Structures are given as structure tokens and as C-alpha cells.
Amino acid sequence: MDGSYYVVETAYESKDKFIVACGGWSKRRTLFGSDEGPNRDSSLLDPARNAAKIRAFFVHPDWVRRGLARRILRACEEAARGYSKEETLETPLGKGLALNVARMSKRVG
């Protein structure tokens, strides 16, 4: 466990407590999938060359539009404090679409 994935649970005191939202960020090469998948690479990214990645946000349909994903994103951003943007890159998505991403590095001191 990297401690980079967060959950929001109901506040009920009973045994019926359940997760209503989750999401996180990754410092690993493979973002998701089985631990034993054929293309799984759980090695750490190199912060000098690879940016951490926001991953897998989900909100239960009965709990949408309450700011839960925003709170999880804020927790991810706070955990990544101390990082600065090195450059912006355009990542092709296919079909003429592209995604702008930022390469980040951790500030020391």
C-alpha cells in the first residue's frame, strides 16, 4: 500500500457503513489492474522523468454532486505538495484528440 488511494465512507455508527467515493494518485508505472496481470509493472516512477498520475475516481450514484470527488482530489493535491511543473506535454489519444499533461518534479528544501 502506497497510501495514495483515498475512500469516503458513510458516517453511520452501525455495521452498515460503506464506501461512497474513492480515488487517488499513483507513483507506480501501471495505474490499475490485477497484481498478477501479464503487463503489470508495479515499479515506482522516476520523479525526474515521470509525473504522478491521478487515477480511478468513483462516486456512488446516490452520493453524486456533494463535492466528494473534489475533496479526494484536494487530498491528492495536498499529498503531492512540494512538486513543481517542469514542462507541459501533449499526449495523443487517437482520433485526432490529445491530452495536455504536466511533467512534475519534487522540490527539495
What mean pLDDT is reported for the chain?
Answer: 79
Please state the rounded mean pLDDT for residues 30-49: 68
Closest Cα partner for 69 from 85, 55, 90?
55
Torsional sign, CA 7, 32, 92, 105? positive
Does residue 82 surpass a pLDDT of 70? yes
Does residue 58 surpass a pLDDT of 90? yes
- Residue ranges covered by each domain of the chain: 5-82
Please state the rounded mean pLDDT for residues 40-47: 76
Please state the rounded mean pLDDT for residues 52-80: 89
Does residue 66 surpass a pLDDT of 90? yes
pTM attached to this predicted model: 0.58
